[in-house]
Structure 1
Amino acid sequence: MDRRWWGAIIVATVLLAAIVIPNIPGRRIAGSPSAGAVPGPPSTGDCVTWIADPWPRFDNPAPQIDDVFDYPTLTVGPCDGGIVGEVVSAAADPAPPARISATDYLSQISQCPIDAIAYTGSIAPVVQTPSGTSIVWAAQPQFRYTRVGPGRAQRAQGQHWSACLIGSVDGVPYSGRLEGVFTDGTLPAAFGTCLLSTDPSRTDQLSCDRPHPAELLATTTLGPRAVSAADVRQSCVDFAGRALRTSDPTRDGAVRIEVVVLRDWGVEVVQPGSEPLADTFVGCVAVAQHGAMLIRSLIGVADGPLPTG
């Protein structure tokens, strides 16, 4: 057939489709178009899959007093995958400002660590030594707190609330939950303070999901009253038992609990016969033995298998 005939047939077909197809009766959908659903306020325990993170602006260089930015917002999602944070408290307060200065934001965030204690639980910090001295240890989880408010669409709907979030210091997604983590949970790897080496002169940290030989469990600052090395070491062992939630934090010799002290010239392991300690900063460290490497935080492992690999 001549090409001109083929061309004529194609043109006729296109014209016929243009006339007939728009007039074919179809199923009509009742109703009128509407905007997408706007999420309501978050609730305590909600998992957060995205945060408009304000913290990078606070890192090197620090923000100026008059640095103003959009008030942080969040997206809530399922808890069964990677999340970047959890809601530790929410209140139907007057909505925070749409934009806020750096100094005002820092003042608003101060309540969040307090609210988080009720959410995560806590490790009893005060340890009484055999000689009667009390040493107050501070656990060292890598938490970061963020205060958020309604997004633009939520504000347009008249929502007014604020919420405190807990998440990792670098915003890396994690698996697991922080609710009740210090009472009946295990600390997700993103939040442990794990160490690259057992050498006290090297304090490089790495993610706890990477093989590591040691973990910093807690720190304390000793006052002017001298405390014997033996008392400090025993209090560290006692606190480690609370942190791991076990009566034997050494796990029958599989873990060594050590005290390290920060000197002007470096870091030193405190031995049982060391000089009494005063006016100094010390750490309580768990060290895997027999060449084993840990692959998760030890906090909360209780009497289950040690996370070695």
Structure 2
Amino acid sequence: MDRRLVGVALVVVALAAVMVVPALSGIRSVGTPVAVSLPVPPAVGDCVVRLPAVGTDQGQSPPQVSMDRLLLGSCAGAIAAEVVAFWPDESALVDAPRSRRAGPCYPPLAQYAGLTLDATSTGAAEPWLVEPVSWRPTLAYQAFLVVPTDLERRAGRAWSACAIAPSGGQDYRGSLNASFGIGALPAGFGSCWTPDASGRFGGPGDCAAPHTAQLVATGWTGPYGPSASADIVASCRRVAARVMETADPARGGQLTFVADRMGGLASRWSGNPSTLGCFVVSADGRPLTGLVTGIGDRPLPFAS
């Protein structure tokens, strides 16, 4: 046999041995395993600086948002939402008290914002039950149920949290935390209205923009039947005094009070039309450019 052919054959056999022998014993690679780094779950008081565009017609109340679709950041500048509740697992979420519109988010929101009217309240999440109308102070908000990412869920995480944003979706400055009781409620969480040509309230609109009325509470008469209109207005005036934190909610006649069924008062009310509304209204039609919530004895925010 030609020596060159023999040499080629030996090279082929050697290469085959190099490829086959490791495969028979298993392919090995040198390295050190590294654990996947999971994001830190949100905490109560964290600020959200970016929220995804999420519609409210998803059949969920509130809509779910994965943690990787929002961005936490500094509370010092403009923010989109605040985290007001955290549940470590599914059982804690299931056991949480709920409301019809905001699911488990309203009770912790009420506590976070300081939504109590006085010591006679039965709890931060309960309406004020002393009046003939069971009033609940108004916050214009959108709740989002924040859930772990797909990667976190595969790793066994099942926490959930609630983020609260203004209902209009605008960024704001300041904080919801204890804001209701100290007159520091960000304007985006107010519900402000202006009468149209027919006299019905149109809105709600931006409370930082000119308006002539603020919805300070909604309520219902409960199982005891309807109250007389005069009693409802008087009750509205008293609850407005508590929301405004003043003994003179009319401010010497500068403000007045309108209370009735929202279906008759507001042209674009999307809730139950039989819900009662309590409005604080500019008596002479001068526009307001801020909230009366927690205003105390400070000057009313009339536009200059």
User: What's the TM-score bracket when you normalise by the shorter of the two chains?
Assistant: 0.5 to 0.7
Whole-Å Cα distance in 2 between the matches of residues 70 and 39 of structure 1? 15
Distance 2:65 2:113 in 1: 28
Return the offset for 1:115: 1.9
Say whether the 8 Å CA contact 1:127–1:238 is kept in structure 2: no
1:196 match: secondary structure: strand
2:209 pairs with 1:210: yes
Instruction: Name the aligned partner's letter for residue 87 of structure 1.
Output: V
The match for 1:92 among 78, 88, 104 is 88
Deviation at 1:202? 3.7
Q: What residue in structure 2 maps to residue 233 of structure 1? A: 233
Indicate how the Cα distance of structure 1 residues 165 and 267 shifts in structure 2: closer, same or farther if over 3 A, else same.
Answer: closer
- Structure 1 SS opposite 2:232: helix
SS of the counterpart of 1:126? coil
* Structure 2 residue aligned with 1:43: 43
In the TM superposition, residue 52 of structure 1 has moved relative to its aligned partner by 3.5
CA distance in 1, matches of 2:65, 2:279: 40
Report the Cα distance in structure 1 between the residues aligned to 2:201 and 2:114, rounded to whole angstroms.
31
User: Residues 128 and 149 of structure 1: is their aligned pair in 2 closer, same or farther, counting only changes over 3 Å?
Assistant: closer
Aligned-residue offset at 1:176: 1.7
Q: How has the CA–CA distance of structure 1 residues 89 and 261 changed in structure 2, closer, same or farther, with 3 Å as cutoff?
A: closer
In structure 2, list runs of 5 or more residues that go unmatched: 1-33, 92-98, 118-126, 267-272
Report the CA distance between 1:239 and its aligned residue. Answer: 0.3
Partner of 1:147: 145
Alpha-carbon deviations, 1:86-119, whole Å to 9, x = none? 1112233379xxxxxxxxxx99x72222222221
Look up the equivalent residue of 1:44 and give its one-letter code.
V
Instruction: Please say if 1:118 is aligned against 2:116.
Output: no
Counterpart-to-counterpart distance in 2, 1:156 and 1:52: 23
Shift of 1:185: 3.7
Q: Cα 1:184–1:262, aligned 2, differ >3 Å: closer, same or farther?
A: closer
Give 3-state SS (helix, strand or coil) of 1:236's partner.
helix
- Aligned-partner Cα distance in 1 for 2:225–2:210: 39
RMSD: 3.6
Contact 1:189 1:296 in 2 (8 A): yes
Q: How many residues align?
A: 243
Judging changes above 3 Å, is the alpha-carbon distance between structure 1 residues 282 and 159 closer, same or farther for their aligned structure 2 residues?
closer
- Matched with 2:189 is 191
Tell me how far 1:76 sits from its aligned partner. 1.3
Segment drifting more, 44-53 vs 223-232: 223-232
Map of 1:297 onto structure 2: 291
- TM-score normalised to the size of structure 2? 0.67
* More deviation, 185-194/69-78: 69-78
Is the contact between residue 64 and residue 146 of structure 2 (CA under 8 Å) also seen in structure 1? no
1:194 positional shift: 0.6
Distance 1:226 1:162, change over 3 A: closer
Identical columns (%): 31
In structure 2, relative to structure 1, the CA distance for the partners of 1:267 and 1:257 (3 Å cut) is closer
* 1:133-144 equivalent positions in 2, closer than 5 A: 134-144=132-142
Structure-2 separation of matches of 1:156 and 1:225: 52
TM-score by length of 1: 0.66
Q: Distance in 1 between matches of 2:86 and 2:290?
A: 31
